[in-house]
A and B are shown apart, each in its own frame.
Chain A
Amino acid sequence: MILTLLILILLIGGAAAWAAERKSPLWSRGIALGAVTLDLLLVVGQWAALRHAPEFLKPGAWLVETRAEWIPQFGVSFHLGMDGLSLLLLALTFFLGALSVACSWSEIQKRVGFFHFNLLWVLAGIAGVFTALDLFLFYFFWEMMLIPMYLLIVIWGHERRVYSAIKFFLFTQASGLLMLIAILTLQFLHFKQTGARSFDYSDLLNVAMTPRAAMLLMLVPEASLRFAPVAMALGVVGILYGAILAFAQTDLKRLVAYTSVSHLGFVVLGIYSWNAWAMQGAVMQMICHGLSTGALFVLVGLLYERIHTRDLRRMGGLWSAAPRIGAMAMFFAMASLGLPGLGNFIAEFLVLLGAYHVSVWMTALAGIGLVGATIYSLSLMQRAFHGPAEEAWSFADLSAREWAVLGAMAAALVWLGLYPQPVLHAAAPIVESLEKIGSALPGFFMR
Chain B
Amino acid sequence: MSSADWIAISPLIAVAAAAVVVMMLAAFWRRHAIVAAASMIGLAVALFCVLPARSAAPRMVTGLLAIDEFGLFYVGLLLKGSLAVAAVSYGYLRARGRDAEEYYALLLTATLGCVTLAVSAHFVSFFLGLEILSVSLYALIAYTRERARSIEAGIKYLVLAAGSAAFLLFGMALLYAEYGAMGFAPLAKALKASGGANVYMLAGMALILVGAGFKLAAAPFHLWTPDVYEGAPAPATAFVAGVSKVAMAALLLRFLTQLGATDSRPILIALSALAVASMFAGNLLALLQRNVKRILAYSSIAHIGYLLVAFIAAGPMGAEAATFYLAAYMITTLIAFGVVAALSPRDRDADAMEDYQGLFWRRPWMGGAFVAALLSLAGIPLTAGFIGKYFVVASGIGSALWALVLILALNSAIGLFYYLRSVVAVYARPGEEAKAADRAPGFSLAGGVALAVLGFSLILLGVYPAPLLRLIQTAIASL
Measuring CB to CB, which residues of chain A are less than 8 angstroms from any residue of chain B?
Answer: 69-74, 111, 136, 139-141, 143-144, 146-147, 150-151, 154-155, 162, 165-166, 169-170, 173-174, 177-178, 180-181, 184-185, 187-188, 191
Contacts and interface: CB of A to CB of B under 8 A. Distances in A.
A136 B463 CA distance: 12
B136 to A, nearest CB: 36
Interface string B381-407: 110001100110110011000000110
Interface of B: 361, 375, 380-382, 386-387, 390-391, 393-394, 397-398, 405-406, 409-410, 412-413, 416-417, 420-421, 423-424, 427, 464-466, 469-470, 473
7 contacts: A70-B466, A141-B381, A147-B382, A150-B423, A174-B410, A181-B397, A181-B405
Contact of A151 (B405, B413, B427): B427
Given A154-B424, A154-B427, A180 B390 contact: yes
B380 A146 contact: yes
Contacts of B391: 74
A208 B405 CA distance: 23
A181 to B, nearest CB: 6
A174 B409 contact: yes
A395 B465 CA distance: 55
Majority secondary structure, B binding face: helix
A151 B371 CA distance: 11
Nearest to B409: A177
B413 A147 contact: no
B420 A181 contact: no
Nearest to A186: B397
Contacts of A174: 409-410, 412-413, 416
Contacts of B394: 74, 184, 187-188
Contacts of B386: 140, 143
Nearest to B390: A180
B427 A155 contact: yes
Nearest to B411: A177
A70 B390 CA distance: 15
B466 A170 contact: no
B416 A181 contact: no
Interface of A is mostly: helix
A25 B161 CA distance: 56
Nearest to B405: A181
A181 B404 CA distance: 12
B176 to A, nearest CB: 39
Contact of A73 (B405, B412, B423, B470): B470
Given A169-B416, A174-B413, A144 B382 contact: yes
B416 A71 contact: no
B406 A181 contact: yes
A155 B428 CA distance: 7
Given A70-B466, A147-B375, A188-B398, A181 B381 contact: no
A144 B424 CA distance: 17
Contacts of B464: 70-71
Given A169-B416, A178-B409, A181-B405, 13 more contacts: A72-B466, A73-B469, A136-B390, A141-B381, A143-B381, A144-B380, A146-B380, A154-B427, A174-B410, A174-B412, A180-B390, A181-B406, A188-B398
B416 A173 contact: yes
Given A150-B420, A166-B420, A166-B421, A181 B470 contact: no
Contacts of B466: 69-73
Nearest to B473: A73
Contacts of A70: 464, 466
B162 to A, nearest CB: 40
A143 B380 contact: yes
A154 B428 CA distance: 8
Contacts of B382: 144, 147
A214 to B, nearest CB: 16
B101 to A, nearest CB: 42
A170 B427 contact: no
B239 to A, nearest CB: 29
A177 B380 contact: no
A185 B397 contact: yes
B292 to A, nearest CB: 18
B469 A169 contact: no
Contact of B424 (A143, A166, A185): A166
Q: Which 8 A-B pairs have the closest CB atoms?
A: A174-B413, A177-B409, A73-B469, A143-B381, A144-B381, A184-B397, A140-B381, A71-B466
A71 B386 CA distance: 14
A170 B413 contact: yes
Contacts of A136: 390
Given A72-B466, A170-B413, A177-B412, A188 B397 contact: yes
Contacts of B417: 166, 170
Nearest to A162: B424
Counting chain A CB atoms within 10 Å of each CB, the highest count among B390, B391, B469 belongs to B390
A191 B315 CA distance: 15
Nearest to A197: B394
Contacts of A111: 361
A165 B427 CA distance: 13
A147 B361 CA distance: 17
Contacts of B469: 71, 73-74
Contacts of A178: 409
A146 B464 CA distance: 20
A69 to B, nearest CB: 8
A13 B375 CA distance: 23
Contacts of B424: 154, 162, 165-166
A150 B398 CA distance: 32
A147 B375 CA distance: 9
B352 to A, nearest CB: 18
Contacts of A155: 427
Given A143-B381, A146-B380, A174-B413, A169 B406 contact: no
A246 to B, nearest CB: 29
A190 to B, nearest CB: 12
B413 A71 contact: no
A183 B390 CA distance: 11
B66 to A, nearest CB: 25
Q: Which of B375, B386, B424, B469 has most A Cβ within 10 Å? A: B424
A107 B16 CA distance: 62
B407 to A, nearest CB: 11
Contacts of A143: 380-381, 386
B381 A170 contact: no
A75 to B, nearest CB: 10
Contacts of A180: 390, 393, 409
Nearest to A175: B413
Contacts of A69: 466
A166 B398 CA distance: 32
Contacts of A191: 398
Contacts of B470: 73
Contacts of A74: 390-391, 394, 469
A224 to B, nearest CB: 22
A185 B406 CA distance: 12
Contacts of B412: 173-174, 177
A73 B469 CA distance: 7
A298 to B, nearest CB: 25
B32 to A, nearest CB: 37
